[in-house]
Every structure is written in structure tokens, then in C-alpha cells.
Structure 1
Amino acid sequence: MEIATTSFSSVHGPGCSCPACSGLGTSSSRYAHTTPRRLSPGEELSAEDHAMVRELATTDRNVRAHEQAHLAAAGGLAMGGASFQMVTGQDGQRYAVAGEVRIDVSPAHSPEETIRKARIIQAAALAPVDPSGADRAIAAQARAMEQQAQAELAQQTPGQRQLGATYRVEEDTPSSVFQAAA
């Protein structure tokens, strides 16, 4: 079975409206072209270097919080932890300037399960304080998946719903219960 996945991502760049980027003229592309200069022993960072390090530290905190919000809401749908695009600041430290969380967005085995799953996907997509355009698009796709599953559920007869519920109980029951009953 192939699992469809998508990534919630936090990329700070042109058009980003987060507090770290708005008004500061910062972007991940700016960070990507920033190469820290090596300091001589005893040399301190310039005021400009300190400002860049502060911007990087703020962006790092925002990116990590954004991705952590996705992870916390995604629960078992997350396929691993967050991954980050890192840059090295003028102070020699590494900072996250973009990130993503991969999640399973494939439909479930039944309309009822798909509805539950789609709601979790929507919650995970919109969990950060500042969901990106991509996050909102994923939430909209999950909403469409939920509506499709609701339509499928509405078309089922009561007998089909009961049969589906029976099979789900058997799938959720550990095999040891069936072995003990035999």
C-alpha cells in the first residue's frame, strides 16, 4: 500500500509575514548567501554581525515553534520528526531558517476513519500561530477529503454501515483475543 504524504513547511523568505521576517528585509535566501567570517582570537562580532545573529536566533525560534506545533497536532500521522534547513551565523552557530514535517495524508480504510483522519490533518496544518499558505492549502485539501468521505458515508445503507463497523472492531481487536477464543 502506498501512503500519500505531504509536508507542512515553514520557509522564511520573500513574502513571509512572520514577525522575524516582516519589516526586517530578511529571507532564507539572504541567510543562504551569508557566510560567516572567521573571527580572529579575541575579536568580537561587529554591531551588524550581532544584529544578523539576533535575526537568525529569532527566525530559528519561530521555525522550530512552527514545526513543533505541526508535530504536536499531527500525532500518529507524522512520519518522523521535523527537518530543518540550517545556516551558520556569524557567531559560528547553526540556525534553522526553514523546516518541514512530513505527514500521511492518504484516505483511511473507511469513510468514518477518513473523516477522523482528515480532521486531524486540518488541525495539524493550522496548528501554528502563523500557518503558511502551503499549510492553509493542505488544510483545504483535508477538508475536501473529509467532505468526500461524508458523501460516501451518506450513500451507505444502514446494513453497509453495520457491516463496516463489525469489520473495524475485528481489525482493532488484537489477534491474541481471537486465538484465545478459538
Structure 2
Amino acid sequence: MKLLLMILFINIVVAGQAQQSSFRKKIDSICKSIDKDVQLKKKTYAQEEFMDHITDEGGELIIFYKDNTIHRIKEWVGLSYGVIIRNYYFRNKELLFVKEEEYRYETDEIKGINKEKLSKEDLFVGKYYFKKDKLVDAETLGHNRFEDENNDAESEYLFLAKKHLALFLKKK
């Protein structure tokens, strides 16, 4: 009986992982097709237009759209220690996926911070999969602010996505 329960449990876990993998592949495929779409138009905003606080190294927001429908938003934020790049992907006005990359500038004991080079070692990459305004899956490499239980990736990305969408609609 224990063996039967163990086999059943393993089958359920494996089936769940396969379903999650299939979901990720589908979203990844949609994002790749958005990236390849040469018909998308671009609207660029300076940091003063979309950020609440001005950063040391600036910022830029690029909205990729077609027929007044946003398909992707790229956010670049320059900080004193490095850069943060976020890409938001949409389908039918619904947030599907967010990829966040955070890189630190290379440092040298003698020269200090080199803002011309990003470190390959000090980085964070997060992939966040959404369905119907709910974070359903996430994959991360490295450390970032969401390790603190007071920070919530789902709430933050949904808030920022809606804020950027509203900016585009307001300033068309």
C-alpha cells in the first residue's frame, strides 16, 4: 500500500512539473515572437516621465506597440552601482511575463567602479510568469529585493505594468 501511494505521489509531481514546463515554453514562445515582430512601433520616455525618483545614471522606458495595443515594455534604470533592465510582455492587454536583469558595474581595488563594464559575476536574473493577473511561476538566479518577505514580485510588477500602460495611453 505504501509503495502504491509513493508511486501515485511521484506521478502527480512529475505530471505537475511537465504541465508547468509546457506553460513556460508557451509563454517563452509568445515572447520570442513579440521580440521578432518588426511591425511594432516604439515610443520612448525619459526617466522624468515615468520614474518617481530620478536615478544617478538615468532611465528609459520603451513601449513597443501595434494598433495602439502594447506588446512589450522595456525599462532601463541606471543606478550608481549598476543597471536594472525589465522587460514586460503582454497578450490581449494582459501581463504574461516579466524578465528582470540586474547587473553591477565591475569594480577594481585600485580604480574603483568602472561604469563602462558590467560584471558577469554580480548579477540577478528573474523570470516571472503571469496568468490572469496572478504570478503563477518564477525562476531566479542570484539575489534581489524579493528575498525580503516585505517585497512582493506579483504586486510590484502588476503595479509597474499598469503604471506604464497608463502613461502610454495618456501621452499618445
TM-score range, shorter chain: 0.3 to 0.5
Would you tell me which structure has more helix in proportion to its own residues? Answer: 1
TM-score, normalised to structure 2's length? Answer: 0.33
TM-score (norm 1): 0.31
The structure with the greater share of residues assigned to strand is 2
Which structure has the larger Rg?
A: 1
Higher RCO structure, 1 or 2 (CA under 8 Å, sep 6+): 1
